[in-house]
Structures are given as structure tokens and as C-alpha cells.
Amino acid sequence: MQPFDLFSSRLSSTSSTIGSIESSLDSITLSGDERELGKVCVRLSYQEALEQVWITLVQSSDLCTLQDGGEQPKIGFKGIITIPKPIQFKSSIKEYQQDVSFMETFVFALRLQQLRCSALVLRLQTHNPKKRTVAECVLSLRQLDSQETEHWLDLNLKSKSSVCHSELHLTTCFQPVNGRIQLQVLAAQNLPASSSPLTQVFFVKVEMHQLGRVVMKKKTRVLKASGGQCQWKETFHFLLAVLDQACSLTVKLYSRSSVRRKQCLGQVQAGFDSPVPEAVEQWKDTMANPEKVVSAWHTLSAA
């Protein structure tokens, strides 16, 4: 077979694959815990002249019943800004209702560069009378600016396993002519500070899953964090075992100290079956648009 015929054959197979992918995109159902716990509205802005961040807790909405039967508890929110020395604050305590208005503003003097490498964690707590965290949400401060922005955040069940609020910057690209997926591990931010004076390093492991098994593994180099960030800018190529079968990538972030074994800080699952809507959207965009490099930041989920 001539080279051009080989290319045409592969391109024909690619077109068929893309058509199959596009026809199935609308039928994707997100997996994971579908219990809706409600939402919380928060407004953010940064006053550059004063070097102050302004956080306004506006309201919670559509809160589900937090306990079965009996008297409903009082509720409040605990906020955490995840800089190396975390800043914590608490809202007033309110009577439980489905919709609760707070309109409380918290102001902290912090550098913008430091804030943009961190996240805001809001934890819904019940007081009945013992305090208990029942749900939480996380908002990256990466795009914090002087212009006030409003965010409606979905409340999720608090993970039982330990997971940090670090973020990974990943790009994906479907290259059907070469029969592969390209993944770039660009950076991580909001990395946890070491609890000891020992040197702590970070690295990323990636697995490609296809046909119900792991078909390829890759790993970045080991780096020390600077200002809560690591910059890898490493590119990996994953050959597809079968072009017309769905695949997924599991990207895990690890830390390691000079005496401790490695610790998995969390993961990003990239694929149609990811439990994270943003990861599904990136994958859909990637697979529906061959050769397009799709970039996104992802907050880690529990591994």
C-alpha cells in the first residue's frame, strides 16, 4: 500500500470514529453522587490599592433536609483561604431554611500573587448543638481581580478521605491520524506546605485506561515547589490500543519527603465517565475536535 493510501485509510477510520463520538456526546450521563445538597452564592473582589481581598457570603439556596425527622439544626459557614498559613473565618449562625440570606463581608490584607495560587473553601456546618461539617465547596482564586465577580457553587458531601485543594493545569489533544492522545502536564498550584522542615517534592503520574485495563503509564520529573507552585511543562503521548474504543486518563499528584514514602494528594479523571463535569467538558471538546489543544485547570478529587 502506498503512503498516501495508508494515510487515506487512517483518515477514513478517523472520520468514522469522530462521527461515532459526536453521536454519543449528547447521551453522556455524569456519574458520581447525584444527591443535591444545595448551592451557596459568594462575591469576590480585590482592592489593589489596599492589597485587600473582599469576600461576601451572599446566601445559600435549595439546601436539602440535613437530617431525617426531629428539630432542624442551625447552620453556618466556615471559610478557609488555603494559603500556606490558612486564613479562617466564620459566618453568623442562622436558623435552617432551604434559602438563607447572609450578606456578610470578610476583608483580609493579602498579596494578590499569593491569593491567585490558593483557593477559597466554604464548609456548611450544622449546630445541633454539636458542630458538624456536612458539605463543602471549593473555588479557585486563580482569576481573582479588582472587578467583583459572583459565583454560585454547588455544595458536595465532604470527602471522607484526605484530599488537598491543589489544582493541576492540563492540556489534552486527540491526534487520530497518529492514533494517540497527547497530554501536557503544565503546572500545579495551591500545593500543601510541608508540616516538617524536611524537603518535600512533587510529581505527577498518568495512566491511560482502554478496553477495561491500564494500557500505558507515564510520570513527570520530581520538582520542589516554589510559592506553592510547580511548573513541569511536560508532554506525553498515549497510543490508542483501538482507535474506535473510548479511553480515559487518570492523572495523580504525589508528594514525597526525604524520609516519608510518597503520598497521593488527589487525582483528575479525564474521560467521558469522569465524575467531574469540567473534566467531562474538556474531554468532549478534545474528542469532538481533533488536533485542537484543550486547556483547563482542575481541582483534585479524592483518589
In a domain, 145, yes or no: yes
> Residue 72 has what DSSP assignment?
P
Q: Are residues 135 and 173 in the same domain?
A: no
Return the pLDDT at 65: 58
Give domain status of residue 176, yes or no. Answer: yes
pLDDT band at 66 (very low <50, low <70, confident <90, very high): low
In DSSP terms, which residues pair with 59 in a beta bridge? 41, 101
**Is 267 in the same domain as 196?**
yes
CB 191 within 8 A of CB 171: no
Instruction: Report pLDDT for 72.
Output: 74
End-to-end CA distance of the chain: 46
- 151 lies in the same domain as 244: no
Of 94, 127, 157, which closes a domain?
Answer: 157
Q: Quick one: pLDDT at residue 19?
A: 52
Residues 6+ apart with CB under 8 A from 1: 9
Residues 48 and 290 sit within 8 Å (Cβ to Cβ) = no
Query: How many CB atoms are closer than 10 A to CB 178?
Result: 13
At 176, phi and psi to the nearest 5? -65, -30
List the domain range (segments joined by +) for residue 117.
Answer: 39-66+73-157
**Mean pLDDT to the nearest integer, 28-34:** 43
Q: Tell me the whole-structure pTM to 2 decimals.
A: 0.72
Q: Of 135, 157, 179, at which residue does a domain stop?
A: 157
Among residues 55, 38, 39, 59, the alpha carbon closest in space to that of 47 is found at 55
Residue 179, number of CB atoms within 10 A of its CB: 17
142 with 242, same domain? Answer: no
Cis peptide before 129 (omega within 30 of 0): yes
Q: 88 and 113 share a domain?
A: yes
Give the domain-ending residue among 97, 129, 157.
Answer: 157
Q: What is the CATH number of the domain that holds 250?
A: 2.60.40.150
The residue written with cell numbers 501536557 in the block is: 184
Q: Are residues 218 and 236 in the same domain?
A: yes
